[in-house]
Structure 1
Amino acid sequence: MASEKINTSDHLNYNTVYQSQGGYPQGGYPQGAYPQAGYPQGGYPQGGYPQAGYPSGGYPPPPQPGFQPAGYGAQGYGDPAGYAGQGSNFGEDADVKGFDFNEQSIRKSFIRKVYGILMCQLLVTLSFITLFLYHTPTKLWVQRNTFMFWIAFAVVLVTLIAMACCHSVRRTAPMNFIFLGIFTVAESFLLGVTSSMYASDAVMIAVGLTAAVCLALTLFAFQTKWDFTVMGGALLCATVVLLIFGIVAIFVPGKTMTLIYASLGALIFSLYLIYDTQLMMGGKHKFTISPEEYVFAALNLYLDIINIFIYILTIIGAVRD
């Protein structure tokens, strides 16, 4: 108790003397005397405070698991492990929105997904064509029930318009896969009915030629330095001209007219295949398709291949007739 009284008395004397002299001595506080406000609770941080002061707005929050904003780690606030200098963390799935489509890993994953969906569509279509071509009871049943053709045609139109016009339909899973599956089955049914009107060897020749043409055009689209993504307007005009020419060909039938019409159609949709492939690739091309549109990209490529097959089959049939 005596020592506490002495210290308290000394502390009051020090404060009285220092305040009367206009402040505290330059040499610092004497032992046993502390400033009135006291030191901060918890003590000073190890290593001291930064010399340049605190950053405006305070320090950023600690990194959370998952995705990080672009540029995180560039200002010294931390760099995700394994991605030093890149400024972002790709997390578990790279095929999500919020990332630059020019990133190589995102583009490759997007292309793999599109071609995976496309291969499933083509396998379903080829199965229907084979069934209608070689299974006689099925072929006879379709020929007796022509209303099935028009039902499938209506389903194709409805699902195609829904996927082309509604972003939520083609971007929201599993709705996009449901609509794409219904469209693929209906379109495969139509192709099966159409193929059953031709000889089996003619159909197989058309399938082989379509596969060869599409493979060659796809490799060309991946390798060429020409940018076909700027040809969207020209291809649209060519499609309108082809549509008008097809209406005229209905009223002016003939082998020559059919050959010209089918040849123009095969040429235009071959250009469309290159165009849609480069839209999917992105990178050096002027226009690209979003990585969220993998269903729409697969639908475009599927329609291009199907139209090329139909026009090649029409050419073979016209030559044989």
Structure 2
Amino acid sequence: MATPERRPILLDFEKPLSELDARITQIRELAEENEVDVSTQIRQLEARAVQLRQEIFSSLTPSQRIQVARHPRRPSTLDYVQAMMDEWIELHGDRSTGVDDLALVGGIARLEGRPVVVLGHQKGRDTKDNVVRNFGMASPGGYRKAMRLMDHADRFGMPILTFIDTPGAWAGLDAERLGQGEAIAYNLREMFRLNVPIICTVIGEGGSGGALGIGVGDRLLMFEHSVYTVASPEACAAILWKDAAKAPQAAEALKITSTDLKNLGILDQILPEPVGGAHSAPLEAAASLKQALLQNLNELSTMTHQQRRNLRYQKFRNIGIFAEVPA
């Protein structure tokens, strides 16, 4: 049986594109029924659709970028693993609680023949899958599993690649009972001492300490329409203005886009996305990510262990630099 074609999931600002595509389809069908040649008009409308798509996605507001970053069909960690890696062996468990956290996946892979350890948040594709994956919000066991695999990578000299895509760490009562804050803080401290190269990439939504728990690295990469924030705009708006409806205003103030973070010196490299977002052409997005990872790995591999640790330390020290201006 043929697999039914999935209907596109349209974001609010994509509606003009949808209307134009529907018009093109309607004209083409009417022309075929009446045996009329409208190829010239169709080409003009298709060119207009391409231009409109480029115009829309080149001028997204921060709140619109959040919609793209949260798109249900945006490529996930396991999608990129499948598209980029020659081999993949997923590893499970934190060797502590006896439970495997499915919101944070990890394992050993080969990238162009080079052994690497890959870690990343994993969201679901639908509601049922998202419930299983806890919507990409990792538990303390997930962060301890990540640290266990990073120690393994350091012991055997394998570079670490982390893919960040979470609204934040799980904030349930059980998470607090099992030491969520301690697990994340432990990872932050320990990642600074690792000798191997660490490259972190924000592939979707990078939220709060949940993102930072696997976000300490030598290089921070970020897809063009991804976001990286200390708190979600909805939470920020609720805290500051007691009104979650002011989330777009909060998104603007938080400086969460790749361009903002590059200008602030937090981000090392912006990865361009296909027109329409990574979900519109996932293999193209994966090829762009793979090229960037290989380039950065080659550069970091020329450094000594001490040089990489110093680079990592200074990178995060510089984020906290401030200047006092006389009144």
What TM-score results when the alignment is normalised by the length of structure 2? 0.25
In our comparison, the structure showing a higher alpha carbon Rg is 1
Quick check: which one's helix share is greater? Answer: 1
Quick check: which one's strand share is greater? Answer: 2
